[in-house]
Structure 1
Amino acid sequence: MNAIADLYAGFTGWLFEHALQPWLYAAGLMDWAEDIYEWLDFALFGLIGIAVVWLVCRPLEAWRPVEPVADRRAIRTDILYTALTRLGLLPLIAFVFLATMQSAWEGWLTENGLLPPTLEELVPALRDHPVLAFTCYVVILDFGEYWRHRAQHRFRWWWALHEIHHAQRQMTFWTDDRNHLLDDVIAALWFGGIALLIGVPPGQFPLVVLLLRLAESLSHANVRLDYGWLGERLLVSPRFHRLHHGVLSAGASGKNYAVLLPVWDWVFGTADFQRKTYLPTGVPEGPEALATGGWLRQQVVGLRRMVAAIRGR
């Protein structure tokens, strides 16, 4: 892991030095060099994530699609969502904000003679077993994502934002990133906050993100794929999650909220392992703009619906 991290850091530094730094110097923008380097770091990681997801999911969709592609424009909109989410400034903003919060939090604890209550502080044995520690981080973060997902369906104002994600009637692995910008901000703060609270090491955090992103993208793929009776109870499959997106499961009465581990749905009574069909996706009662509008139109409609929900309308 250290060798991979060193290789990645070396490539990022080389690319910045030869591709961006001369341009910044010529434009008189060297005061922004550190910020732009951070953005480049996140953008490269996002590009790697997109490549991994495409290499895994695209062959599967070509192999056994649930439905033929009837609306390529809708898919192009989802691709735009992915590009803006994984290559844009949002991850950098979330990182800077959370890193500042972490420094203030750890500074306050140090001043009061306390140690940050990380997972490895609570369970010292994990320090000698990095693979087990990594697994624990994934399980805890996945548990947090399950409850965030349920909250998105439970609160009307949050559902008004999340409905953009469910409105897609031409679901593919690109649909994973189809979210309102404000919803993405909340998700980034939620996920990053839990990661900082339990002390996920900086070297492992990108791998956790990559793993969960791959799992989410695969679960949205347009492919007839399940993992069998046992596998369906161990990992979220495209069939398991498509039921969540089905027209019968939209809103607060949904099922199958889990991101990676279906055990949370099983424990908290939201699992549906019996239905074996691949339902059509979408929100029948939702505005047409959320299904077929462009990125900007969907953002505006989602924000208006959130404000209306807060006002009780």
Structure 2
Amino acid sequence: MIGALQDSWNSLNGWIFETLVQPALYSLGLMEWAEDAFDWIDFALFGLVQVLVVYAICRPLEAWRPVEPRTDGRSIRTDILYTLLTRLGLLPLLAFVLFASMESRLSGLVASSGWVPPTLETLFPALRDAPLLALAVYIVVLDFGEYWHHRFQHRFDWWWALHSIHHAQRQMTFWTDDRNHILDDMLGAVWFGGLALLIGVPPGQFPLVVVVLRVAEAFSHANIRLSFGRVGERLLVSPRFHRLHHSRFGSARLGKNYAVLLPVWDWIFGTADFRRDLFPATGDRRLPEELASGGWLRQQWAGLRQLGLALVRRA
């Protein structure tokens, strides 16, 4: 199944390149950029698929049973801009440039040393013959990594200075998931990508892992009055579970409910809040107003300023 999906994806990517992009490059005399353009299509198309899948799942649910009415269209439009830049624009371009260079250098160093890095499949050979089980294991391991990534964002002053942009939003929707400082996004990409390389996630399965966790994150931020019940709340992160993390009383530096997909990590490490009757207002009121109501540029600049202040205080 995974192989068939990969073949379909490659066919679509090739069709877009040959039909739309290659003729344009040829007419402009830019064929030396053909290989880079092909890779860029893969990034942009993957981002578009993520946005469409999340919208198709979350928007009808928000319309069906919202926690609160949409009253702040301006802040929601800012969050949409964050999503478009993150999934289709600036961040994929930076990630492509950085990771392409990093991957080639690391591959060269590993090849020259003769060392073969261990992966989950080399440690547990049974995973090679069970791709769906392997996919589930990769998701669980990366979800565990994302739990600690999120806790560290709250734990360290300099990282919280960037992450606080995310917690300033008072009109939370599924678009809020991508409301992050660009430096915070880049750190997250290095964290997630580095862990995926470390455990040996195959290239064919990596996009599926990303989509699963991406949908889970967006769904948990959605403006939906939905709880999974006493048992379900302990199996999967619900919008109610994560809303407590963003609430006025739960969004402090050391809060609760950090998990992305599996609440078990919060339960194990003592950061879970399973109260099912609460759908509180969101947004940390102690943060500067520009982080809540400013546009994208103002929020990015305010995040940099907060980062500078945090580093000065640390020094």
The question of a shared fold, defined as TM-score above 0.5 by the shorter chain, is answered with: yes
Q: Name the structure 2 match of 1:33.
A: 34
Q: For the residues of structure 2 that align with 1:218 and 1:311, how far apart are their CA atoms?
A: 37
Q: Name the structure 2 match of 1:195.
A: 196
- Determine if contact 2:240/2:276 at 8 Å carries over to the other structure: no
Q: For the residues of structure 2 that align with 1:42 and 1:107, how far apart are their CA atoms?
A: 24
Q: For the residues of structure 2 that align with 1:138 and 1:99, how far apart are their CA atoms?
A: 23
- When the two structures are superposed, what TM-score results if normalisation uses the length of structure 1? 0.96
- Secondary structure at the residue paired with 1:179? coil
Q: Name the structure 2 match of 1:146.
A: 147
- Determine if contact 1:159/1:251 at 8 Å carries over to the other structure: no
Q: Name the structure 1 match of 2:130.
A: 129
Q: Name the structure 1 match of 2:64.
A: 63
Q: For the residues of structure 2 that align with 1:91 and 1:257, how far apart are their CA atoms?
A: 25
Residues 1:13 and 2:43 are matched in the alignment: no
More moved, 177-186 vs 123-132: 123-132
More moved, 124-133 vs 220-229: 124-133
- Secondary structure at the residue paired with 1:148? helix
Q: Name the structure 2 match of 1:83.
A: 84
- Secondary structure at the residue paired with 1:197? helix
1:258-273 pair list within 5 angstroms:
258-273=259-274
- Give deviations 1:218-269, integer Å, cap 9, x for gaps: 0000010011111100100000000000010123221000000000000000
Q: For the residues of structure 1 that align with 2:99 and 2:126, how far apart are their CA atoms?
A: 27
Q: For the residues of structure 2 that align with 1:195 and 1:95, how far apart are their CA atoms?
A: 16
More moved, 30-39 vs 193-202: 30-39
Q: 1:96: Cα distance to partner?
A: 4.6
Q: 1:108: Cα distance to partner?
A: 3.4
Q: Give aligned pairs, total.
A: 313
More moved, 104-113 vs 173-182: 104-113
Q: Name the structure 1 match of 2:228.
A: 227
Q: 1:106: Cα distance to partner?
A: 4.3
- Determine if contact 1:218/1:237 at 8 Å carries over to the other structure: yes
Q: Name the structure 2 match of 1:251.
A: 252
Residues 1:302 and 2:299 are matched in the alignment: no
- Opposite residue 161 of structure 1, the aligned amino acid is L
Q: Name the structure 2 match of 1:162.
A: 163
- Structure 2 portions without partners, runs of 5+: none
Q: 1:274: Cα distance to partner?
A: 2.5
- Determine if contact 1:145/1:259 at 8 Å carries over to the other structure: yes
- Determine if contact 1:91/1:188 at 8 Å carries over to the other structure: no
Q: For the residues of structure 2 that align with 1:159 and 1:242, how far apart are their CA atoms?
A: 18
Q: Which runs of 4+ in 1 moved over 6 A?
A: none
Q: For the residues of structure 1 that align with 2:237 and 2:198, how far apart are their CA atoms?
A: 26
Q: Name the structure 1 match of 2:115.
A: 114
With over 3 angstroms needed to count, the CA separation of the structure-2 counterparts of 1:20 and 1:102, relative to structure 1, is closer
- Determine if contact 1:38/1:92 at 8 Å carries over to the other structure: no
With over 3 angstroms needed to count, the CA separation of the structure-2 counterparts of 1:34 and 1:89, relative to structure 1, is farther
Q: For the residues of structure 1 that align with 2:102 and 2:19, how far apart are their CA atoms?
A: 33
Q: For the residues of structure 2 that align with 1:161 and 1:250, how far apart are their CA atoms?
A: 14
- When the two structures are superposed, what TM-score results if normalisation uses the length of structure 2? 0.96
More moved, 268-277 vs 90-99: 90-99
- Secondary structure at the residue paired with 1:90? helix
| Aligned alpha-carbon RMSD (Å) | 1.4
Q: For the residues of structure 2 that align with 1:275 and 1:153, how far apart are their CA atoms?
A: 24
- Give deviations 1:105-128, integer Å, cap 9, x for gaps: 444344444322111111111111
Question: Identity of counterpart residues, as a percentage?
Answer: 65
1:165-176 pair list within 5 angstroms:
165-176=166-177
Q: For the residues of structure 1 that align with 2:190 and 2:114, how far apart are their CA atoms?
A: 27
Q: For the residues of structure 2 that align with 1:31 and 1:279, how far apart are their CA atoms?
A: 54
- Opposite residue 4 of structure 2, the aligned amino acid is A
Q: For the residues of structure 1 that align with 2:235 and 2:117, how far apart are their CA atoms?
A: 32
- Opposite residue 202 of structure 1, the aligned amino acid is P
More moved, 106-115 vs 302-311: 106-115
Q: For the residues of structure 2 that align with 1:292 and 1:60, how far apart are their CA atoms?
A: 25
Q: 1:99: Cα distance to partner?
A: 4.6
- Structure 1 portions without partners, runs of 5+: none
- Secondary structure at the residue paired with 2:237? coil
